[in-house]
Amino acid sequence: MAKAKVNNVLFVTTEAEPFASTGGMGEVCASLPRALNKTKKTEARVMMPLYEDVANRYKSAMTFVCNITVGLGWRNQYCGLYRMEHENVVYYFVDNEYYFKRRDIYGYYDDAERFAFFSRAALELIPYLDFKPEILQSNDHLTALVPIYYALDYKTRDGYKHIKNVFTVHNINYQGMYPLIIAGDVFGISEEQLPVIEFNGAINLVKGAIVSCDKITTMSPQYAREIRLPEFSGGLDGILIENRSKIVGILNGIDVDEFNPAVSDSLFVNYDADSISNKKENKLALQRMLSLPEDADVPLVCVIAHMVPYKGYDLLRKSINKVSPDGNILDTNMQLIILGHGDADIEDYFMHIQKMYDRRVRALITYNRDLAKKVLAAADMCLLPARTEPCGLTQMYACRFGAVPIVRATGGLIDSITDCGKGDVGNGFVFEEYDSDVMDKAITRAVSMYYYHKDEWLALVKRAMKCDFSWGKAALEYNVLYRVLAA
C-alpha cells in the first residue's frame, strides 16, 4: 500500500509563540503548525525574524545554517539563517541585526522596509532549507509581500515552480498602505509591476496578496463572509468579491493544554468541570489581590481585549455613561475587571471609571497570559462586545475556564458561541445588534440566571468548560486545503 503523501508547508510570519508574540497571530503560528504535524499528513515549519528579544535559551539551541545576500531595491543586505526544533516543529530564524536587533517587534519608522526584507529573504532562502516547501502560508500585511514577490519574480525560476501561496487574513483592517512613490525604493517593485499593489492611488499590500495568492484563509467561516461586505472589508470588498473563490474560513483552535484550569500554574486553585466549586477560591484570591471587596457570590464580569475601538469598548462606555432612574450597569450588584492596553483615550477612561467605582471596577492596563488566566479563573462571565472579530481566542479561553462568554454575533464569536436560551442549550449569551442597550440586556440575562437559576447556571458553566476548541478539527480542514492545492 502506497504511503500517503505529506504536504510540506512553510509558515512565514513576523511572530510566533514562545519566541516573539504580540497576540493572536503569534499563538496561531505556533499552535497550528504543531497541530498539523500531529496529523502526520502535513509537515509544517515556521520562518520568522530573529529578534533581539528572543530568549537566550532559545538562541543557544539554534544551529547556524548559512548566510546569503538579499537584494531589496538598491540595497544588498546580509541575511543569516538559523534553525531549531521546538515542540515537534522546525523553526527557521532570519538574522539581520540592522533590521531586527531592536527592543520591540513593531513600531519603527522603517517597518515597511524591515518586513519587505524579511519577505524577500524568506523566498531567497528556500534553496538553502533542508526542506522543500510546496505551500507558503504568509500571515497578514507584514508578510503580504511573500505571495506578491513570488508572483512577480519567483514563480518561473528553477526550484520555485509549482509552489502555491496561501495568504491568511488575521485582520482585514491592517492592509499595509503606503504612498506609491516608495514602491521601487522600499519594496523593489518596478513601475511596470505597480498595478499588482496599487489600490485607490496608493500601495495596498493586502490587495496585492489577495490577487497574487492561490488561496485566502480567515480565522473563522463567518469572518470569511463578513470581509466581503463594505462595513467589514476596510474598502477591499470589491477585490474580495472578485477573488471570492479563493476564500476559505476555518475556525481557529486554542492550546487546550496551556489553557487548562485543572493543571495551570497561573491559578490560585486548580479546578475542572467536575470541581467548579473551587473556582470561587480563585475569585476570592483575585479580589484580595486587587483590593476588591471579597465576595464569592457577587457576579464578576471580565473584559479581556486589546484596547482599540472595534473591540466594543465604546458600547461599554455608553452603558457606563447612561443616566436613567435604574442607573447604569455598574450601579447593579456586580464587579468588573478590564484587562488590556492600547489607545490612550480608552485606557484613561477606564482608569477614571476605576476611581469612580473603586469598590466595583479594576482597570488593569497591561496584558500578560498569567494574569489573563487568573482573571478568567476568577470571573463568572467574560464580555466580548466586538463590532468585528476575525476569530477571537478569548471566548474559547473563557469557556475553558468556566467564565461564561457574553458576545456579539460577529466573526469567530458567533462561530464558537451559541446562545443558551433559558439555560438548557448553548455555551454563552449572544446579542445581535451593535448597541449598548442590547448589550445591557444580554448582561442582565446572564446576571439574572447567575442569581436566580443556579441549576441552569451550573449546567451552562459545565457545558462551556467541556467545549472542544482544540486545533484538531481545524488541522484536518487545513490538510484538505493543502492536499487540493498541492495536487
Residue that wins the pLDDT comparison between 18 and 333: 18
pTM score, two decimals? 0.91
* Each residue's pLDDT tens digit, 77-133: 999 999 999 999 999 999 999 999 998 999 999 999 999 999 999 999 999 999 999
Could you tell me how many helices (H) and strands (E) the chain has, helices first?
A: 19, 18
Mean pLDDT across the stretch 315-335? 81
Give the C-alpha separation, 337 to 303, whole Å: 6
Q: CA separation (Å) from 332 to 39, 298, 300, 327, 329?
A: 49, 10, 12, 8, 6
CB count within 10 Å of CB 79 equals: 22
- Given a cut of 50, whether residue 178 has pLDDT beyond it is yes
Give the C-alpha separation, 380 to 334, whole Å: 10
- Span of 47-51, 416-420, 482-486 with lowest mean pLDDT: 482-486
> Computed over its alpha carbons, how large is the radius of gyration of the chain?
23
3-state secondary structure of 322: coil
Give the C-alpha separation, 448 to 182, whole Å: 57
pLDDT band at 287 (very low <50, low <70, confident <90, very high): very high
Mean pLDDT across the stretch 11-30? 93
CB count within 10 Å of CB 282 equals: 26
Intra-chain end-to-end CA distance of the chain, in Å: 19
Whole-number average pLDDT of the chain: 94
Grid cell of 411 as nine digits: 466573526
* Residue from 194, 200, 146 nearest 168 by CA: 146
* Each residue's pLDDT tens digit, 146-160: 999 999 999 999 989
Mean pLDDT across the stretch 169-185? 95
Q: Quote the pLDDT of residue 271.
A: 98
Classify the phi-psi angles of 460: left when phi > 0, otherwise alpha if psi is within -120 to 50, otherwise beta.
Answer: alpha
Which residues lie closer than 8 Å to 157 by C-beta, 6 or more apart? none
* Residue from 90, 70, 91, 89 nearest 80 by CA: 70
Largest CA distance in the chain: 75
pLDDT band at 326 (very low <50, low <70, confident <90, very high): low
Q: CA separation (Å) from 185 to 72, 113, 182, 448?
A: 8, 9, 5, 61
- Given a cut of 70, whether residue 325 has pLDDT beyond it is no
- Given a cut of 70, whether residue 3 has pLDDT beyond it is no
* Each residue's pLDDT tens digit, 375-420: 999 999 999 999 999 988 999 999 999 999 999 999 999 999 999 9
Residue with cell 496551556: 258
- Given a cut of 50, whether residue 216 has pLDDT beyond it is yes
Q: Quote the pLDDT of residue 1.
A: 45
Burial annotation 375-407 (CB, 10 A radius, 16+ → b, else e):
bbbbbbbbbbbbbbbbbbbbbbbbbbbbbbbbb
Mean pLDDT across the stretch 40-67? 97
* Each residue's pLDDT tens digit, 431-460: 999 999 999 999 999 999 999 999 999 999
- Stated as kind and residue range, the H or E segment containing 46 is strand 42-49
Full set of structural domains in the chain with CATH: 7-253+472-486 (3.40.50.2000), 276-465 (3.40.50.2000)
